[in-house]
Amino acid sequence: MTRTPKTYDDLYAEAKGLIDIEVPLFTNLANLTALIKLRCQWFWVGFYEVINNELVLSAFQGPPACVKISYGKGVCGKSWELKESIIVDNVNEFEGHIACNEASKAEIVIPVFDKAQRVKFIFDIDHTNYGEFKLQDEVGLKKCLTLIEELL
């Protein structure tokens, strides 16, 4: 699928329609991962939650994954440490990449912040093609994630 800014406008609109402020946060996280997986056909879409001093697997869609990731470790842990998104074209070239599934070749990870600008979640998407993720994906996905940040 070719992803354009319009793709993300549509995704954002659909995601906004799914968010329900009256249900537990996990329900909204789960529905958002389901929507993104369905629309974009990515291999793995999910959240890791910052709990105490590590990332713990939260809502996701895709094959089973690693349940805990330490601060600074792997792409997710590095994104948490840097408080920045990371796009990896080839996971084999990212030092310390944690291979939950060998089918994963490229990934994008985006931190999700609470109102005090603390990282609460790391949003992680994996794909089976090298070089899958571009800046437009980061921009579009970050906008969708503001829907979660508004709940934190």
145 part of the interface to ligand SME, by CB under 6 A: no
Q: Does 132 bind ligand SME (CB under 6 A)?
A: no
The pairing of beta strand 86-88 with beta strand 44-51: unpaired
Phi-psi region of 70 (alpha: psi -120 to 50; beta: other; left: phi over 0): beta
In sequence order, what E strands does 18-66 have?
Answer: 44-51, 54-61
Task: Considering only residues 31 through 50, tell me which ones interact with ligand SME, judged by CB under 6 A.
Answer: 44
Identify the residue among 49, 126, 132, 137 touching ligand SME (CB under 6 A).
126
For helices 25-40 and 135-149, angle between their N-to-C axes, nearest 10 degrees? 160
| Position among 45, 85, 123, 124 found at the interface with ligand SME (CB under 6 A) | 124
- 66 binding ligand SME? (CB under 6 A): yes
Give the binding site for ligand SME (CB under 6 A). 44, 65-66, 69, 74-76, 97-98, 100, 104, 107, 124, 126
